[in-house]
Amino acid sequence: MPSDRQHQIQESRYQFPYHYIPSCEDGKFVQARVLSWGYEYLAYTRFVLSKIRALRFDSLLDAGCGDGRFLFELRKMFPDKKLAGIDISETAIRYAEALSPDVTYLCGNVRNSAELQRDFDIITAIEVFEHIPPDGLPGFVKALAERLKCNGVLALTVPSKNTPMARKHYQHFDLESLRETLKPHFAVAEHFFINRISRWVKWMECLLVNRFFILNHQGLLNRLYRSYERLWLNAEQHNAKRICALCRKCEDMGKQ
């Protein structure tokens, strides 16, 4: 039997299903998989987490949770909170359940899921609105409002119109169009422009990952990431890749 220390070391490896990384399909050998914009993803995720940390809450729903990475990080920060995630992708939910089993997950649509409670303190929608057809957004926003407690908070991020439209997206947003999308159910209480567009960021990205090598020097990686968070995470309206917004239900705003 392995010692406790050996067991803990092995368990720590299973934060990611690493046995699935190496492959040799169609004669092409691969032993590394890279998310070229991983620094950007991690930075805006950590930014939203910092905003949630400042709020008081007991329950949180991540709408459009995907594979559950955001909830995985939340669980580490808040081991005693009631966390739930919902997504329409069965595959994504299976990953989420496997990688973060101490969170409640549902596969379905937030608009018509009978199993989903209606009194969350916080609802998050991280990079979700752009995946919903425009004619479906009013119903989606209404459903979020119905699932949120009075004085609850909707925290969301969306891609900015400053960035080219991705093929998998229906639309990108500016602050005005985001506010219009949230009406009449939510009002933006705070907003932040994040992930600055800059030639320096592009050069950093090319250094991290290119066709010849993947940077793997831990000290340099740490320094580059810290520089990104310090210098290029915060942005202005004209050069932001994303908008982050903290929203209140309009009926709650009227009571204040």
**Domain assignment of residue 152, yes or no:** yes
Residue 236 token pair: 């202005």
Residue 30, in any domain of the structure:
no
Written as six digits, the tokens of 123 are 């609802």
Q: What is the pLDDT of residue 165?
A: 93
**What is the DSSP pairing of strand 82-87 with strand 59-63?**
parallel
pLDDT for the residue numbered 34? 87
Give, in order, the Cα–Cα distances in Å from 224 to each of 48, 176, 202, 256.
20, 33, 12, 43
In-domain check, residue 9: no
Indicate the number of domains in the chain: 1
Amino acid 21: pLDDT: 84
- pLDDT value of residue 64: 96
What is the distance between the terminal CA atoms of the chain, rounded to a whole angstrom?
61
CATH number assigned to the domain comprising residue 80: 3.40.50.150
User: What is the structure's pLDDT at 30?
Assistant: 87
Tell me if 12 is assigned to some domain. Answer: no
235: CB partners within 8 A, 6+ apart? 193, 194, 195, 196, 197, 241
Contact 11, 211 (CB under 8 A): no
Angle value at C-alpha 224, between 218 and 229, nearest 5 degrees: 125
For residue 54, the enclosing domain spans 35-255
2, containing H or E segment: none
Residue 35 contacts residue 42 (beta carbons within 8 Å): no
DSSP secondary structure of 20-42: GS-EEETTEEE-----TTHHHHH
**Domain contains 246:** yes
Task: Say whether 72 sits in a helix, a strand or coil.
Answer: helix
The answer to whether position 74 is within a domain reads yes
pLDDT for 253 equals 53
13 is a domain residue: no
Six token digits for residue 243 = 């908008």
Residues of the chain with pLDDT under 70: 1-3, 6-7, 9-10, 13-14, 252-256
Give the CA distances from residue 62 to residues 172, 191, 201, 210, in Å, rounded to whole numbers and listed in that order. Answer: 20, 19, 29, 33
Can you give the pLDDT at residue 67?
94
Identify whether the C-beta of residue 90 lies closer than 8 Å to the C-beta of residue 29: no
Report yes or no on 1 lying in a domain: no
Measured CA to CA, the distance from residue 107 to residue 65 in angstroms comes to 10
